[in-house]
Structure 1
């Protein structure tokens, strides 16, 4: 079964412009009702400050037509891309490492800390963004009682999202300029299981690699953090062998 992205852009358009077009139209699906009143959508892309930061980031790292390898996380969290609009990037790292200032409160986010303070100490950030694009299985975030929520935490909501919204948006992210030969999944549990089942149905990718989610690493596996940094390095290097 093949999905055609309605946001497909010309191959001659730079990737940053495709990404901005895609993110600017992202809104909660009108045909999906949230199952509980304490669950709320998290979509920062209508915020002018988020739009400015997103444009600055993608213009800095994606102003070309190079094909990338897609990395699929779970969904945005409120202290990372749920604020900045940039995946796995909190306001602190956006300012101090990407050199993009903002008026956001400088609150840390665990996944961002792993990527920028640990992984990028051993793997070139510029090289990473030149070869990889970080997206999400569910590109909009969710909150429950003011706390981060995964798209699969509520089964009713998850099943509704899996009907069209999630598959359509995976295809949209591929069409931004990503390879269909391989993808990397952030998360070795539910996120990988769901993505793998979707891939069998829609054949998005020829291969899917998986790594532990950075939030899980920071919460539960800090004593073995060097092993997980190597896991990420190995996955990035292996993924590149599929696209050569």
Structure 2
């Protein structure tokens, strides 16, 4: 599976027929960075060198402190080095979503087991920056509608074809990301079922006092997804 993933990432390109809304909005394209490509190759070779079918987990889009640097979803340079044992020359700065996944979720659900069964992708596989800050693909409605015409549906289909199940997917985000993905799924029939869980950044920003409840939400969703795939 790792070779298919790496080919997919290396071939990712921003859609040339879509004009970004304003000169201060830019694509975040980490896979053009040789160091990012080296890290992703090491990561996917380490955890995805098999033909086991995975369950697709769809985030929003890469952010500039996580996969927008490392190329590895929900993984900042700190966790890439200290947990995945992949060194890099990236500044060791933390990212909230990565902190939740590695410091909380993976304390209760084995990281190796997760990567054996799940593949983390994104509804929009390339990130966006606006005035040097993270931008979600749905923050600008005109841009979002253009991306939904073909780029996003094609990207989801390509991610499934890496070796992911069509029985179920997990959506990171219970608001806009889920609403958009659910409508897309109704139209394109990517999956039989989509489970939704809170986005890790939302949890770390607003729900830290009840973080254990969200860890349980993640574990319950993973176990349910595994059950649905096995039936």
- TM-score scaled to structure 1, two decimals? 0.94
Q: How far is 1:150 from its partner? A: 0.3
Aligned to 2:148: 162
Q: How far is 1:49 from its partner? A: 0.2
Structure 1: how far apart are the matches of 2:23 and 2:210?
39
Aligned to 1:105: 91
Structure 2: how far apart are the matches of 1:201 and 1:38?
33
Gaps of 5+ in 2: none
RMSD: 0.3
- 1:30-49 aligned at under 5 Å gives the runs 30-49=16-35
Aligned to 1:206: 192
Aligned length: 230
- 1:41-190 aligned at under 5 Å gives the runs 41-190=27-176
Q: How far is 1:37 from its partner? A: 1.0
Q: How far is 1:36 from its partner? A: 1.1
1:112-161: CA deviation from partner (whole Å, max 9, x where unpaired): 00000000000000000000000000000000000000000000100000
Stretches (4+) displaced over 3 A: none
- TM-score scaled to structure 2, two decimals? 0.99
Aligned to 2:217: 231
Q: How far is 1:27 from its partner? A: 1.2
Gaps of 5+ in 1: 1-14
